[in-house]
Amino acid sequence: MAIVIGGREIELKGARSCSWLDGTVPRVTDRTERTRRVRAIVLHTHEGTATGSIKPDRIADDRTARSLARYQSSTTRTVSWDYTVGRDGVVLAQSDPAVEYTWHATSWNAISIGIELVQDPDGALYDAQLDALVSLVDTLTREFRIQRQIPWRDGAPMLGVIYRADEAGTLRGSDCVGVFAHCNNTRNRGRGDPGPAPFYALHEAGYELFDFAVGEDSKQWRNRQVRMGVKGDGLPLDATCDALARAGHPHGLWVERPYDR
């Protein structure tokens, strides 16, 4: 079983997955043709409650995850996301994000991929679920050449609206690249969407930490771009990824993860 990117079935390393191709889950109905480069991944939690609690092991069979997967393909609400990560550590793939985008983060939809994490009613997540999330994000960043970086300040994830990322602002994420929380781009959701646990997991995986509110990411990338002879615009997109690949960085990504080579 695999996820689907650009019509290709891709196995997740270190995680179980399934998609609409194997009849396990339906394909999303709320979707739009993708015409812009994917530059961000947006993390969501379905309860929107941040307790920071992480439970060991996994749930044997997360029926809530499958119920959410069916819901987003049947509800009359205009809402959808690309992947659901269950508490059993299974990734449910319901779209092909290379050819279509889902409706999960308003003005960010066209440039992002949406991942929904299933929570316990008290907001808790599971170890196996976070392991699956990291595997999924590793794969997506590799396939779409999204630099592995997350918003961070004073030793902790940034879990409030970032001006550059605000869906109602002037920039609306146009100069943001990386993995973000839904609460980074909207005031309609609290700090519990998704809470700190997913970002601590990505931090442990070696993702770079930047204070996006003060442009630490842009400053660092401008310095790197100048050294590589690339236009120093602070946006690590295709030209920067190409230069990194020529310099020996697998897939043009600064941070290397298992299975990149």
Q: pLDDT band at 250, cuts 50/70/90? A: very high
Question: Among 223, 220, 255, 234, which Cα is nearest to 148's?
Answer: 255
Residues 6+ apart with CB under 8 A from 22: 1
CATH of domain 3-214: 3.40.80.10
Residue extents of the structural domains in the chain: 3-214
Please provide residue 122's backbone torsions phi and psi, each rounded to the nearest 5 degrees: -85, 5
The rounded Cα 216 to chain-centroid distance in angstroms is: 20
Question: Among 2, 19, 233, 12, which Cα is nearest to 141's?
Answer: 12
Q: Which residue has the tokens 């190409």?
A: 242
Query: What average pLDDT score do residues 198-225 get?
Result: 98
Looking at every residue in the chain, the average pLDDT score rounds to 95
Q: pLDDT tens digit string along 147-166?
A: 999 999 999 999 999 999 99
Strand-strand pairing, 16-19 and 90-93: parallel
Q: pLDDT tens digit string along 97-118?
A: 999 999 999 999 999 999 999 9
Residues 6+ apart with CB under 8 A from 81: 28, 44, 72, 94, 102, 104, 114, 115, 116
Residue 30 DSSP SS3:
coil
> Which pair of structure tokens corresponds to residue 60?
């044997």
